[in-house]
Amino acid sequence: MKIISSIEELRDQLSGQLRTAFVPTMGNLHEGHLSLMRLARKHGDPVVASIFVNRLQFGPNEDFEKYPRTFQDDVAKLEKEGVYVLFAPTERDLYPEPQEFRVRPPDDLGNTLEGEFRPGFFAGVTTVVLKLFSCVQPRVAVFGKKDYQQLMIIRNMSRQFALPTEIIAAETYRADDGLALSSRNMYLSPAERAEAPALYKNLNFIADEMRKGRRDIAELEHAAMAQLRQQGWNPDYISVRKRSDLQAPSGADLAKDEPLLVLAAAKLGQTRLIDNLEI
C-alpha cells in the first residue's frame, strides 16, 4: 500500500485509473470502516482510502483536538484489506491557504437534525468531500448509512454538481448487541458501553410500532425520548422522517406508505452517539 500526502503525487499515482473506488475516513478505523473497504472493492479497482481529521466540520466546543488518531494501527488494517493507496494529507496539504470557498447544503436538509445541533457541520463535510473527490477523482465512493443525513447530502451534492462519482451506501455495521460501531464508542466507560445499545432498542420500538400501524408519531418520539432520559441519557432528537428528503411525513405521506426512517442523537455521559433505522 502506498501512503501519499501530497495532492500532486496522488494524482500522478492514480493517473489513467478509470475505476477508482474511494472511501474517505477520519481514521481510528474499526470493523465498520473496513467493511466499507470491502464493499468498495466490489464496485471498483483500485481501492483508495483517505485519513484526514477535518477541522472544518468541528464546532468550537467539539472534540477536534481530542479526536482519536491511531495512524499506525490504521495503516496495518488497511494493508490487510488490500487498499492500494492511502491518501493521508496534512492540513497544509489539503488546505494550503484558508478554505474561504465552502459548499453549503440547502437549509431544509443541512440545518435539520444534526445540522440543528451542530451548526456548520455539513458545510464542513461537503467542502472537504468535494475537495477529496477533486483530488482522487473516483468513479465510486462509499459512505455508511449510520451517517444517513451525511450520506443523503453528499449524494445530492454529487448529483447537483454532475460529479462523475457514484455514491454507494453501506449498511450500518453493528456489534452483536446492536450498537452501531463508531470511533466515539471508545469514549464510553464500561457501564456506558453496556447501556449504549438502548439507543438502537428505542429506534426498533418506534419502527415496530409503526409497522403495526401506529401513526401517532409525536407520541412515539416523545415516549422514546422519555425512556432514554429515565436511563440517564440526554437526547438531542429522536425523529421519524421521510427517506426521500428527511422532512417530517404528512398524513398523506403516511397514508400512501411513504418510505420512512427514524433517526436519533443522544449523549450518554460525555459521549454523543447517533443512529438510525429504516422503517
Cell of 245: 428528503
Cα separation, 79 vs 96, whole angstroms: 28
Cell of 73: 494501527
Q: Which of 30, 33, 43, 222 is catalytic?
A: 33
Cα separation, 47 vs 141, whole angstroms: 10
Q: Alpha-carbon torsion 194, 196, 198, 201, what sign?
A: negative
Establish how many alpha carbons lie within 13 A of residue 33's alpha carbon, considering only the half-sphere containing its beta carbon: 21
Residue type, 240: V
Residue from 124, 137, 119 nearest 48 by CA: 137
CA distance readout (Å), 142 to 32, 226, 236, 272 = 12, 35, 27, 24
33 an active-site residue? yes
Question: Catalytic residue numbers?
Answer: 33
